[in-house]
Chains A and B, each alone.
Chain A
Amino acid sequence: MNLPKKSRFSLKNQSPFGLAIFVAMAVFSLLSDNIFYIEVLKVAAIYAIFAMSWDILTGYTHEVNFGFAFFIGGAGYLSGILNSIFSFSPYVAIPLAALAAGVSGIFIGYLTLRLKGPYFSMATLAFASILFKLSFIFYEITGGEEGISGLDVFADDPTKDFFVAWGVMLAVYLILTFYAQSKHGIILKAIRADEDATQSAGINTAYYKIEAFAISGFMAGIGGGVFAHSQMHIGPTMLSGYISIIVVLLAMIGGMGTIVGPLFGAIALTILNEYLRVVEEYRIVIYTGILILLIYLAPEGILNLKFVKKSRILTFILLGERKPV
């Protein structure tokens, strides 16, 4: 195999569609002075961080991580505790918590990545459920059902707050696309196609999978920390199975293994979810119903649909890939 030794970062390899989403979100929040819309976009940006960081492991290796709440909620709680008890500033607490999430990603990856398919998925689900239960058992620290409230915010102005989330999302997106297009991403794709063959090419597959797991955990940890501080609150919902499932659904509907797909899926569907608040009572039922319908109609995800893959122009605009003629 001939892999590039060093990959260079370039805008040329970026998906125009993905960049357009960022520009559109920034322009909209600068022009609009409706706080509600900006709040919605902020939540959408944070969900996009979750979905993209989930995608770097599962989209590229097809080992489904059902315990993503472990990283999101774990880092959220950790940075909440650091902030409320030890009064660290959010700008210190979030990286520390994310680092802890990344290290536990290495640890869990080391333990579980020998497992395949359903075994791996259920093991990650079990890890997340243990943390969920522990958050109730140690209620003196975590606040039990109530969670931890009154965390420091980034800025008083919602627009500034949004731009913190937006900036983190942009950074995560650029780092992850760069990683996915580098040698490491190509090896992950090779593992997805055939792990045994990749191994016999002399590649330490376990190393790359654990690396992807750690990066995925780290990014999710950043997202979880940003979420906790921008909401000023972290509760057991962020550790529950609900958040894990929603992240999986958002990323799968957008299109696994593309990074742009989960970005698009998370933002579009979160905005849809907020729009459904007009029928608040039935919102979650309708929302999960729509998610099921979308998965049923496009199990590979919207950006992986056949007509997108066939057309050269659409592949370039949506995914940023230049197919040889």
Chain B
Amino acid sequence: MEILIIGAVRGALYSLIAVGFVLIFSVGGILNLAHGTYYMLGAYLTYIFYTLVLGAGGINLLILSVLLAVLSVGIFACLMYYILLRPYIHSLTYVMVMTLALALFVSEVMSLLFGVSGTSVPSLIEGSMTIGGVKIINQQLILIPITALILPSLWYFLKRTKMGQSIDAVSQERTGAILMGVSVETATLITTGLSATLAALAGALIAPVSSVVPEMWLFPLIKAFAIAILGGMGSLVGSIIASFLIGYAEVLSSFLINEQLTELVALVVIILVLIFKPSGIMGYKLR
């Protein structure tokens, strides 16, 4: 029971992070190594808005600061895409190196501003709940309904609205979409904002229960990549399934073998999948 619930919480968190990572790769062909940075910024900006700008008021101010943080990360990501990445978007090497350098830069700025020991953010909901004899912190549990709300609305956006359909079209067949008059520029820009927003939301929601430190960008990035590889690059459904698979695999390994091995699961998954089945479980193309 314990494994079931904690695994579900982790799966929900990872799917929020990984969906954006997969989306921007399939739409813009951008391997965004700064994705973990957006997650980190979501957590840090929540802290900044709540404690420093809004002055640590009640619960309403906390929700407002989460929203502000998520929004400003989205804008920041769009700016970064527009200024830094767009001029050389066709060079995969450039994009990878630039986003990784950006990740390094932001994490150094954060450690300069707030120190390496980290900060913390109060919870949206205090207390904990007991389900089936297992005690779960409410703040972690809140991830499940939020993810259950966001993923279907993302699906609705991609399949039913005009903007979403054009993003979907670009990811499926880039040249065809251009010929149909879809603006690839706009689609990529909106996807960048969207994927950064999702990562920032995950960071803001997890901030109260994990420590907010400058190094927190690396492991979400590796996990997002492991999930993207396992689910098949470019497949959203695959990445959601893979998020829960990896979430459960990590919880299982920490319960059965050793706590320390949790971080290794994602890395081993990357290597095994790349060596034995590079297209992943739902992948349909491999460049």
A binds B: yes
**Chain B residues bordering chain A, tally (CB within 8 A):** 35
Whether B274 and A123, one on each chain, are in contact in the complex, defined by CB atoms closer than 8 angstroms, is yes
One of B225, B260, B264 near A130 (C-beta < 8 A): B264
Q: Inside 8 A of A123's CB, which chain B residues have their CB? A: 270-271, 274
Is the pair B267, A130 in contact by a Cβ cutoff of 8 Å? yes
Decide if B61 is an interface residue (CB 8 Å cutoff): no
A318: CB under 8 A from chain B? no
Contact of A282 with B97 at beta-carbon distance under 8 Å, contacts A122-B270, A123-B274, A288-B105 already known: no
Shortest Cβ distance from residue B235 to the other chain A in the assembled complex, whole angstroms: 15
B162 is an interface residue with CB less than 8 A from chain A: no
A296-B98 contact in complex given A133-B267, A285-B108, A289-B105, C-beta closer than 8 Å: yes
Residues 110-124 of chain A, each 1 if its beta carbon lies under 8 Å from chain B, else 0? 011011111101110
Dominant secondary structure at the A interface: helix
Task: Considering the complex, give the chain B residue whose CB is closest to the CB of A131.
Answer: B267
The smallest beta-carbon distance between A114 and chain B, in angstroms, is 8
B102 x A116 contact (CB < 8 A)? no
Query: For chain B residues 245-287, which have a beta carbon within 8 Å of chain A?
Result: 260, 263-264, 267-268, 270-271, 274-275, 278, 286-287
Which residues from chain A contact B225 at a C-beta distance below 8 Å? 122, 126
| Distance in Å: Cβ of B269 to nearest Cβ of chain A | 9
Contact A248 B270 (CB under 8 A): no
The chain B residue with its CB closest to the CB of A58 is B93
Taken together as a complex, chains A and B put the C-alpha atoms of A130 and B260 apart, in Å, by 12
* Contact between A117 and B287, CB atoms less than 8 A apart: yes
A193 is an interface residue with CB less than 8 A from chain B: no
| A82 in contact (CB, < 8 A) | no
Decide: A133 and B109 in contact? CB cutoff 8 A.
Answer: no
B229 proximal to A (CB < 8 A): yes
Question: What B residues does A197 contact at CB under 8 A?
Answer: none
Q: Which of chain B's residues 79-118 have a Cβ closer than 8 Å to chain A?
A: 84, 88, 91-94, 96-98, 100-102, 104-105, 108-109, 112
Contact A296 B84 (CB under 8 A): yes
Q: Is B182 an interface residue (CB 8 A)?
A: no
Q: Does A171 contact B (CB under 8 A)?
A: no
Cα distance A117–B102 when bound, in Å? 20
- Given the interface pairs A292-B102, A296-B84, the reply to whether A118 lies near B31 with Cβ below 8 Å is yes
Nearest Cβ distance between residue A210 and chain B, in whole angstroms?
A: 15
Tell whether, in the assembled complex, residue A245 and residue B104 are in contact, meaning their CB atoms are under 8 Å apart.
yes
User: How far does the alpha carbon of A112 sit from the alpha carbon of B271 in the complex, in Å?
Assistant: 9
Contact B94 A115 (CB under 8 A): no
Most chain A CB inside 10 Å of its own CB: which residue of B88, B226, B274, B286: B274
CB pair A62 B109 closer than 8 Å: no
Set of chain A residues within 8 Å of B97, measured between Cβ atoms: 64, 248-249, 252, 295
A196 to B102, CA, bound (A): 34
Are B278 and A115 within 8 A (Cβ)?
yes
A62 touches B93 (CB 8 A): yes
* CB under 8 Å from chain B, chain A span 93-122: 111-112, 114-119, 121-122
When distances are taken between beta carbons in the complex, the residues of chain A under 8 Å from B287 are 116-117
Please determine whether B96 and A121 come into contact, CB atoms closer than 8 angstroms: yes
B216 to chain A, nearest CB (A): 13
Closest chain A CB from B148 CB (angstroms): 29
B121 close to chain A: CB less than 8 A: no
What 3 A-B pairs are tightest by C-beta distance, nearest first? A118-B31, A126-B270, A288-B105
